[in-house]
Each structure stands twice: as structure tokens, then as C-alpha cells.
């Protein structure tokens, strides 16, 4: 039987895992949205920045990025401030390194998802908003973005699950999340099956909750949407 003290620690670790996953995903969503909007039109400086960013963060494992941010983050921040003549010392915590690493890695993937969704919005939606003289911010907020959410929701849901599962790697930089406590409990009690099974139940429960919430959001985004059925070609008699 699992000891209640370790079960409580698993609960604390689960809360830490959720915090890291949520903040990382929000950061990735912000980065992805900015790059998606910036790369809709081909501009050389933006393309160079985007290609460099995407090549680095999609080509390097997220765990390695977390190691770099944790062990070299203080030096990188100090170097950036030294360019403007400031001397700043910043200690990068495992939590900050984990959020920054996962956010920047999966921001590159979300940028492609969001940009593809925007490009798949029918051009007539943009033209109708322009003809009706709808202000551009209003058109994007109330006309375009709801359709983008509907189109991108399945891929964004899958990306959230990937981010959630990748938090299990972050224990290697010293963050006390659920996998770190599961490893500690299994080492002390010599019952690894029980505690790793409890960690598995947590991830399965979060995945199931994700699908339930995503279905509710999908139903909300489908309100008023009536897909036009394609007319099939008549068969020759």
C-alpha cells in the first residue's frame, strides 16, 4: 500500500506539473500567434528571424533546451544586458527554465498550426469584413479568430497533450514535479510500480479531461457554422 506522505507529495508534484504545462502552453501560444501573424506576408527580415528560430527550436530536443536555459540562462541574460551597458545578475530557477524551454520549443510548432488555420479561413470572410467597413481589430477578434480556433483546435489540443507529457522530462533539471516525487517515493519504499502507476493515472486523467474540454470548446466554435455540402457529380445512366 502506498504511504500517505508520499501520496501527498505526488499531489504537490501534480500541481507543479499542471502549473508548468499551463504556463508553457500559454507562452508557446503567445509566441506561435506572433510568428503566425508576422509570417502571413513574406518579408525578408521576418522570414530570416522565423527560419532561424524554427530551425533551432524544432531541431533541438526540449530537454536539451531546458538544460541550456538552466545552466547557461544566467550567462545569456547577463550578455544581453551587457550589450546596452548594464550589469545584471539573474538566477534562472528550474521552474523558469522549464517554462521557457517548453514554451519556446512548442511555440514554433503552434506558429505553423495557427498560420495554416488562418490561411484556410475562406478569403470571402476577409473581403466581407472589409466591404462592411468593420474595423480591422474587430474583424480579427470577432470574425477571423473564432474560425481560426475552430480549424486549429484539434492540432492545438494534441500539442497541449504533448506539452503536458514533456513536463516529465523537466525533473532532470531539478524541478520537483510529479515524476520527481514518484521516483523519490519508489526509491524509498522499493515499490516503483505503485507510484509510477499513480503518476500514469494522473497523466491519463489529464488527457481524458483535455478531450472533454476540447469537445466542449469545439461545440462552442461550431455554433452557427453550417458546412456547405459538396455537390457530387451525377452518374451517367
What's the rounded Cα separation, in Å, for the pair 72 and 97? Answer: 10
**Domain regions of the chain by residue span:** 4-112+152-221
Please indicate whether residue 5 or residue 39 has the higher confidence score (pLDDT).
39
**Residue 237 confidence (pLDDT):** 32
- Which pLDDT tens digit goes with each residue over 50-71? 999 999 999 988 989 999 998 8
How close are the terminal C-alpha atoms of the chain, in Å? 72
Q: How confident is the model over 141-168, as a mean pLDDT?
A: 90
**Residue 2 confidence (pLDDT):** 57
The percentage of residues in the chain with a pLDDT greater than 70, rounded to a whole number, is 92
**Residue 234 confidence (pLDDT):** 43
| pLDDT band at residue 111 under the 50/70/90 scheme | very high
- Which pLDDT tens digit goes with each residue over 119-147? 998 888 888 888 888 888 888 888 888 88
Q: Which fold has domain 4-112+152-221?
A: MetI-like fold (1.10.3720)
**Residue 79 confidence (pLDDT):** 81
**Residue 21 confidence (pLDDT):** 94
Return the CA Rg of the chain: 22
The percentage of residues in the chain with a pLDDT greater than 90, rounded to a whole number, is 40
| pLDDT band at residue 103 under the 50/70/90 scheme | very high
Q: What are phi and psi of 169, to 5 degrees?
A: -80, -20
- Which pLDDT tens digit goes with each residue over 167-181? 988 888 888 888 888
**Residue 72 confidence (pLDDT):** 85
**Residue 31 confidence (pLDDT):** 95
The closest of 117, 220, 118, 103 to 162, measured between CA atoms, is 103
Burial of residue 176 (number of CB atoms within 10 Å: 0-12, 13-18, 19+): middle
Q: Rounded to the nearest 5 degrees, what angle is found at the Cα of 145, between the Cα atoms of 127 and 96? A: 145
Mean pLDDT of the chain: 86
What's the rounded Cα separation, in Å, for the pair 177 and 189? Answer: 18
What's the rounded Cα separation, in Å, for the pair 41 and 47? Answer: 9
What's the rounded Cα separation, in Å, for the pair 191 and 53? Answer: 43
State the DSSP string of 170-237: GGGGT---HHHHHHHHHHHHS-HHHHHHHHHHHHHHHHHHHHHHHHHHHHHHTTT--PPPPPPPPPP-
**Residue 1 confidence (pLDDT):** 47
Indicate whether 233 pLDDT > 60: no
Indicate whether 192 pLDDT > 70: yes
**Residue 4 confidence (pLDDT):** 66
Amino acid at each position: 500500500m502506498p504511504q500517505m506522505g508520499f501520496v501527498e507529495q505526488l499531489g504537490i508534484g501534480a500541481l507543479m506539473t499542471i502549473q508548468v504545462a499551463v504556463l508553457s502552453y500559454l507562452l508557446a501560444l503567445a509566441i506561435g500567434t506572433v510568428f503566425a501573424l508576422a509570417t502571413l506576408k513574406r518579408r525578408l527580415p521576418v522570414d530570416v528571424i522565423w527560419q532561424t528560430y524554427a530551425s533551432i527550436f524544432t531541431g533541438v530536443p526540449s530537454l536539451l533546451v531546458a538544460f541550456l536555459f538552466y545552466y547557461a540562462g544566467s550567462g545569456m541574460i547577463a550578455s544581453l544586458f551587457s550589450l546596452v551597458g548594464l550589469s545584471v545578475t539573474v538566477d534562472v530557477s528550474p521552474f523558469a527554465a522549464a517554462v521557457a524551454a517548453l514554451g519556446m520549443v512548442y511555440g514554433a510548432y503552434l506558429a505553423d498550426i495557427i498560420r495554416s488555420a488562418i490561411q484556410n479561413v475562406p478569403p470571402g470572410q476577409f473581403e466581407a469584413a472589409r466591404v462592411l467597413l468593420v474595423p480591422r481589430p474587430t474583424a480579427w477578434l470577432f470574425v477571423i479568430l473564432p474560425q481560426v480556433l475552430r480549424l486549429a483546435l484539434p492540432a492545438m489540443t494534441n500539442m497541449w497533450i504533448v506539452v503536458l507529457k514533456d513536463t516529465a522530462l523537466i525533473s532532470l533539471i531539478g524541478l520537483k514535479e510529479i515524476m520527481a516525487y514518484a521516483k523519490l517515493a519508489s526509491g524509498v519504499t522499493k515499490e516503483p510500480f505503485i507510484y509510477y502507476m499513480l503518476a500514469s493515472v494522473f497523466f491519463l486523467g489529464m488527457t481524458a479531461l483535455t478531450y472533454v474540454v476540447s469537445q466542449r470548446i469545439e461545440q462552442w466554435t461550431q455554433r452557427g457554422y453550417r458546412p456547405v455540402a459538396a455537390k457530387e457529380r451525377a452518374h451517367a445512366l
